[in-house]
Structure 1
């Protein structure tokens, strides 16, 4: 059984609403139980809660600053952009701005294991989505990221 702190949970998802929901289920017997609670909390988040979580995510292609757990995880998650062709990184930066103008929040993708070119292709394709479709995709991507982070948190990585 583990009694994870709210600070530890916040490193997985910056939504106050999400942290409260997951913290309410403590202690957790195993990683599977924790992940299930985290996924249920993402599914139940208000859109404002999702936006709060998004605000803590760096743009794809930008190196997250800081020494904290969340910044370190973001750097590893975005390792597919390290050493990418400058033209691809510039196109991602331009795409990020177009995405933010269109949808009003950062472009979120579970970047783990993805190359910069792949993330750019997905970004460009998602620009054609309507708001409802994009919100569903964002929530799904957030759930993937949170799941990976909860597993790392449980394992102490």
Structure 2
């Protein structure tokens, strides 16, 4: 059975768990699940991308709630926690103590300014790059930052969905 056939045939609860591990916004997963069956992998990925682009801010905040602070190790043995650790692992290896401390301070300042964790698509980025982005984004207004957060969350969900499909 192909990954697409398996995805289409997954019991609703198992699919819900898989999709929540990609993006902890139930509305995102429910919409994708309701669109089954998909003809091909591209259709699944396109649906996930389309749905992520129209999430409400409340849905995005739900998604953010499952993400640890950048630079902090995600706790637990869930799929989501393991993915988060993997996504941040290269960045963690590339940081010196000064950069790590500066990132902690930037995280704190960001949370005070915007009221939620700083989110960035960390895969392939060093902590110095992440720190520079955090400092830059601190200058954004609320509307601009919300759009960036939504885009970063969409990219993370897309990467994680690809992982789900690869594992089926």
Please indicate the TM-score interval, normalised by the length of the shorter structure.
Answer: over 0.9
Distance in 1 (CA, whole Å) between partners of 2:40 and 2:68 is 29
Q: Which of 1 and 2 has greater Rg?
A: 2
Superposition map of 1:23-102 within 5 A: 23-83=33-93, 84-102=95-113
Query: Could you say what the CA RMSD is over the residues aligned between the two structures, in angstroms?
Result: 1.3
- Structure 1 unaligned segments of length 5 or more: list them: none
Structure 2: unaligned runs, 5 residues or longer: none
Whose helix proportion is higher, 1 or 2?
Answer: 2
How far residue 113 of structure 1 moved from its aligned partner, in angstroms, is 0.2
Q: Find the aligned partners of 1:106 and 1:9 in 2 and give their Cα distance.
A: 21
Cα offset for 1:33?
Answer: 1.2
Does the 8 Å CA contact 1:31/1:151 hold for their aligned counterparts?
Answer: no
Distance 1:29 1:78 in 2: 33
Separation in 2, partners of 1:80, 1:132:
30
Q: After TM superposition, give the deviation of residue 19 of structure 1 in Å.
A: 1.4
CA-CA distance at 1:68 after TM superposition: 1.4
Match of 2:127 among 108, 111, 116: 116
CA contact (8 A) 2:28 2:51 kept: yes
Aligned equivalents of 1:81 and 1:75: distance in 2? Answer: 10
Aligned partner of residue 100 in structure 2, secondary structure: helix
Distance in 2, Cα, partners of 1:30 & 1:60: 34
Aligned residues: 157
Structure 1 residue 135 displacement after superposition: 0.7
Which residue of 1 is the match for residue 151 of structure 2? 140
Equivalent residues of 1:50, 1:139 under 8 A apart: yes
Deviation at 1:126, TM superposition (A): 0.3
Give me the TM-score of the superposition, normalised by structure 1: 0.95
Give 3-state SS (helix, strand or coil) of 1:155's partner. helix
